[in-house]
Amino acid sequence: VFAGIAQAPEDPILGVTVAFNKDPSPVKVNLGVGAYRTEEGKPLVLNVVRCAEQMLINDPSRYKEYLPITGLAEFNKLSAKLIFGADSPAIQENRVVTVQCLSGTGSLRVGGEFLAKHYHEHTIYIPTPTWGNHPKIFTLAGLTARTYRYYDPATRGLDFNGLVEDLSSAPLGSIVLLHACAHNPTGVDPTVDQWEKIRQLMRSKSLLPFFDSAYQGFASGSLDKDAQPVRMFVADGGELLMAQSYAKNMGLYGERVGALSIVCGSADVAVRVESQLKLVIRPMYSRTPGDWSHIIKQIGMFTFTGLNSEQVAFMRQEYHIYMTSDGRISMAGLNMKNLPHLADAIHAAVTK
């Protein structure tokens, strides 16, 4: 049935490496891929990463259990702290929701899908040029990608007037993708003064900032300084989205470590936003939701499963399993024969 499928074109960036690998020349040089290399051109693993790996290997308490849908809570907390600052008012006011995602790409995609589902404007403005994956990620997420002027080939610098003109004429409420620092592919960033003007313009037109931070630490050498534009937008109390990648600044290209944060208007909104982010993530790459370690931790004759009355009713109707509507089960009713049936029923109830 797939015999008629056409050959897809090579990815423009990864395709450079494919061509490089095929070249037998001893003087070949690969300047395509954005990854640290040693003087010998070999992959480089940062010392701090090697140390962390050793600590993990030597820690016998580590396990491979499922994480919650939103990922590792401690990682999310530290990720938000790294970009917004330890003293960020938004963090202190519990207005920040952070979910672990599959590197920068996954964070952008989850953010894009969330906006397509829950935000009234579906147009996202991306700079020209930008990282080649941006238009594809957002289009597939259900948004419409338009461009704003960014680079001026004549000066090989920022086309600030063009940028201001284009954002000024964007419809109210449009989403704007901003590279937090070390713009890819140009290496041209606005100055702090220009960022301040961009911020004022965007807030005056209710344009929603979607920051992409793939290079925190690369622009100035200081993590805090590179986060300054983002923190200016957080300091004004407004909302924004933030996609973080640790592929480049930690050299963790293949491990797909990243996070999406949404800075909300209030703690109450943040709770609801998080609940909706879970619904975006779950059918994309998640598994049976929730942490079930309480089943082992709880003592006595009963387990308070956390299943709600609707799930309890579903399990009774579909699986003929009977328990009180508050989700309490008597452990004494379980045996090796009926346990798999119960597990199937719980799985069906919580993923329904």
Which residues neighbour 288 within 8 Å (Cβ) at sequence distance 6 or greater?
66, 347, 350, 351
**Shortest reach from residue 323's CB to ligand PMP, in Å:** 43
Which of residues 91, 97, 247, 315 is near ligand PMP by CB under 6 A? 247
Of the pair 259, 315, the CB lying nearest ligand PMP is at 259
Minimum distance from CB of 78 to ligand PMP (Å)? 17
DSSP per residue over 304-336, as a string?
A: E----HHHHHHHHHHH-----TT-EEEGGG--T
CB of 159 to ligand PMP, least distance (A): 18
- Interface pick for ligand PMP out of 85, 95, 97, 104 (rule CB under 6 A): 104
Please report whether residue 184 would count as binding ligand PMP according to CB under 6 A. yes
Q: Least distance (Å) from ligand PMP to the CB of residue 211?
A: 10
State yes or no: is 248 an active-site residue: yes
Q: Half-sphere exposure of residue 235, counting CA atoms within 13 Å on the CB side?
A: 11
Q: Is 105 in the site for ligand PMP (CB under 6 A)?
A: yes
214/281 with CB nearer ligand PMP: 214
Q: Which of 166, 189, 212, 226 is catalytic?
A: 212
CB of 319 to ligand PMP, least distance (A): 40
- In the bound state with ligand PMP, the residue whose beta carbon lies nearer, of 249 and 311, is 249
Kindly state the smallest distance separating residue 8's Cβ from ligand PMP, in Å: 19
**Residue selected from 159, 189, 212, 226 as contacting ligand PMP according to rule CB under 6 A:** 212
Span interacting with ligand PMP, options 103-111, 142-150, 192-200, 287-295, rule CB under 6 A: 103-111
Burial status of residue 346 (CB atoms within 10 A of its CB: 0-12, 13-18, 19 or more) = buried
CA distance 273 to 269: 6
Among residues 22, 131, 189, 197, which one is catalytic? 131
Binding ligand PMP (rule: CB under 6 A), the pick from 90, 214, 273, 346 is 214
**Contacts from 280-283 at CB under 8 Å and sequence distance 24+?**
280/110, 280/113, 280/114, 280/117, 281/69, 281/70, 281/99, 281/101, 281/110, 282/69, 282/351
Residue 63 CA: distances (Å) to CA of 24, 67, 207, 287, 340: 44, 11, 43, 17, 23
Specify whether the backbone of 125 is left (phi greater than 0), alpha (psi in -120 to 50) or beta: beta
Q: Which is nearer to ligand PMP, 53 or 255 (CB)?
A: 255
Which residue's CB atom is positioned nearest to ligand PMP?
Answer: 104
Query: Does 159 sit near ligand PMP (CB under 6 A)?
Result: no
Interface region with ligand PMP, contact rule CB under 6 A, candidates 97-105, 143-151, 277-285, 332-340:
97-105
CB of 184 to ligand PMP, least distance (A): 4
* 100/278 Cα distance (integer angstroms): 11
Give the residue, chosen from 114, 125, 131, 138, that forms a contact with ligand PMP under the rule CB under 6 A: 131
Cα separation of the two ends of the chain: 31
Nearest CA to 212 out of 162, 114, 137 is that of: 137
Distance CA 315, CA 177 (A): 45
> Is 103 near ligand PMP (CB under 6 A)?
yes
DSSP string, 119-141: -S--EEEEEES--THHHHHHHHH
The reply on whether position 32 binds ligand PMP by CB under 6 A is no
Q: Where are the beta strands (DSSP E) in 139-192?
A: 144-149, 151-152, 157-158, 175-179
User: Would you tell me which residues interact with ligand PMP (CB under 6 A)?
Assistant: 34, 103-105, 131, 179, 184, 212, 214, 245, 247, 258
State the catalytic residues: 131, 212, 248
